Amino acid sequence: MIGLMTPVDFSEMECSVARTLETIGDRWTILILRDAFYGVRRFEDFRGDLGVASNILTDRLQKLVDREILEKRQYEERPPRYEYRLTEKGQELLPVILTMMKWGDRWANSGSTPPVTLTHTTCGHVTEPVVTCSQCGEELRRRDLRAHPITVRGGNPSGELARAETS
Amino acid sequence: MIGLMTPVDFSEMECSVARTLETIGDRWTILILRDAFYGVRRFEDFRGDLGVASNILTDRLQKLVDREILEKRQYEERPPRYEYRLTEKGQELLPVILTMMKWGDRWANSGSTPPVTLTHTTCGHVTEPVVTCSQCGEELRRRDLRAHPITVRGGNPSGELARAETS
DNA sequence: CACAATCAGTTGCATTTTGCAACTGACCGC
DNA sequence: GCGGTCAGTTGCAAAATGCAACTGATTGTG
């Protein structure tokens, strides 16, 4: 088996971010998922697009299958050919990918236009993902959020999330 | 210096997700950011809360400072004490953390209630982050998104993002 | 003043993970 | 029967990570 116990077990942390990282907290894994969202399904296509070593790809795909993010299915018997498709659990990682994409467009793109634009077909416009409140629909800003319960050494007991430097 | 060239240079990939990962694509880094959003600012508090080795923490904080996600400032002269605070660039990673948190709540939480709930003070309700279209405000669903331009081997030329298994 | 404690690290070494390149093996088309 | 594709496996080297111990400035306590 491949998945040895990680030296630090993030899954034991009482935090969903840590547990998410336990599942996808790896550069190649996230890039595999990005490709999967773009429609890539086959081993050789992942390998060719990402330039990842095939042993690493084997390992990551296997872990993603174990964690039910991807489903491996044989779509051809002779010769045996497989494809890896997103499960529902995997599909729901799309917001994570979208928010990373948006951040990278703004902050890690050396001033050029975004390499990939998204069109929202239901309204017909080029769109950007905005993270909003499920209750009122307003954009979620850190200063309007309180986290409960959270007991972090040095953390803010008011639940207020940290604000940016205004030096 | 600590930050050696990574063997695979994600930043050269023509993809904002890859470039975002170049900056924060590391388990500890993301957990440091989570703590930073909760208001943690000092070395020993990060170390104590995360249980991370101090050499690793030194390395990650330094990289985050180099990349202008965190700002290091001395807040006390004698004894010298420092704090690490999110810059605006760092603040804008909040959506990534929020979407990870939401996914973890749903898919990696072994059926219990979320360990941390968020309250949206402007509307007064417990909220969940929803990723919506900047143009029409509707929730972004993969089947309503088209990506352009994208040239990935094996990718879907229609731009349609992958759909889940419906086996 | 001596002594323990806090904060912010550094150093050295062992373990683990990762990358790379080469190889396997089933099949297919010509 | 030869080259090409697909989906990997294997072995070895390089890099990242974890761990524990140590440094050094300072501060609070008796």
Residue of higher predicted confidence among B158 and B115 = B115
Give yes or no for CB of B51 within 7 Å of strand C.
no
- Tens of pLDDT along B30-74? 999 999 999 999 999 999 999 899 999 999 999 999 999 999 998
Same-domain pairing of A143 and A133: yes
CB B49 within 8 A of CB A126: no
- Flag if A142 and B94 touch (Cβ within 8 Å): yes
Most B CBs within 10 A among A14, A26, A38, hence the mutation to make, goes to A38
Identify whether B4 is part of a domain: no
Q: Are residues B131 and B160 in the same domain?
A: yes
In a domain, A155, yes or no: yes
Residue B25 resides in a domain: yes
Q: What is the DSSP string of B116-143?
A: SEEEETTTTEEE-EEEEETTT-PBP-GG
What whole-number distance in Å separates Cα of residue A116 and Cα of residue A7? 37
Report the DSSP beta bridge partners of residue B70. Answer: B86
Number of domains present in the structure of chain B = 2
Do A110 and A139 share a structural domain? yes
pLDDT at A15: 85
Over range B11-35, report the average pLDDT. Answer: 85
> Chain B partners of A31 at a C-beta cutoff of 8 Å?
10, 13, 15, 17-18, 21
Contacts of B25 in chain A (CB under 8 A): 27, 30
Pair of tokens at residue A20 = 């998410």
Which of B91, B106, B126 is the last residue before a domain boundary? B91
A167 and A129 inside one domain: yes
The answer to the question of residue A1 being in a domain is no
Residues of A in contact with B144 (CB under 8 A): 120-122
**Pair A85, A110 in one domain:** no
Distance CA A142, CA B93 (A): 10
What residue numbers bound the domain in which A44 lies? 10-91
Considering the domain architecture, whether residues A35 and A70 belong to the same structural domain is answered as yes
- Give residue A75's pLDDT band: very low, low, confident or very high (50, 70, 90): confident
B87 and B98 fall within a common domain: no
Residues B142 and B117 both lie in one domain = yes
Question: Are A73 and A45 contained in the same domain?
Answer: yes
What are residue B104's phi and psi, to 5 degrees? Answer: -60, -40
Give the residue among B34, B113, B111 at the shortest CA–CA distance from B70: B34
> Which two structure tokens, joined as six digits, stand for A124?
């017909």
Residue A73 lies in a domain: yes
Rounded average pLDDT over B98-109? 93
- What is the rounded end-to-end Cα distance, in angstroms, of chain B? 52
More confident residue, B15 or A102: A102
- Report pLDDT digits (tens) over A1-46: 222 223 345 555 568 899 999 888 888 999 999 999 999 999 999 9
| Residue that terminates a domain, selected from A39, A61, A91 | A91
Classify B96 as helix, strand or coil.
helix
Q: Are A125 and A56 contained in the same domain?
A: no
- Nearest protein residue to nucleotide C8, judged by CA and C1' positions: B43
Residues on chain A touching B23 (C-beta within 8 angstroms):
107-108
What pLDDT sits at residue B166? 43
% of chain A surpassing 70 pLDDT: 82
pLDDT class of A142 with cuts at 50, 70, 90:
very high
B125-157 pLDDT, tens digit per residue, is 999 999 999 999 999 999 999 987 644 445 566
* Segment B151-161, tens digit of pLDDT: 444 556 677 77
User: Using 50, 70 and 90 to split pLDDT, how confident is the model at B115?
Assistant: confident
Q: Is the Cβ pair B153, A95 closer than 8 Å?
A: no
With a cut of 90, say whether residue B109 has pLDDT above it. Answer: no
Q: Is residue A67 part of a domain?
A: yes
Q: Residues B21, B85: one domain?
A: yes
Mean pLDDT over A101-121 rounds to: 87
What's residue A27's pLDDT? 86
CB–CB contact A129 B131 (8 Å)? yes
- Beta-strand pair B145-148/A117-120: antiparallel
Q: Say if CB A22 and CB B108 are below 8 A apart.
A: yes
Pairs of residues, one from chain A and one from chain B, whose beta carbons lie less than 8 Å apart:
382
Residue type (1 letter), A93: L
Concatenated DSSP letters of A94-112: HHHHHHHHHHHHHHSSTTS
Nucleotide nearest to B47 (CA to C1'): C8
CATH of residue B59's domain is: 1.10.10.10
Which residues, in sequence order, are CB contacts of A58 under 8 Å at separation 6+? none
- Name which residue leads in pLDDT, B122 or A150: B122
Q: Which of A56, A72, A91 is the last residue of a domain?
A: A91
Nearest residue, CB atoms, B152 vs list A35, A71, A87: A35
Count of all residues that appear for chain A in the document: 167
Q: What is the mean pLDDT of residues A83-90?
A: 95
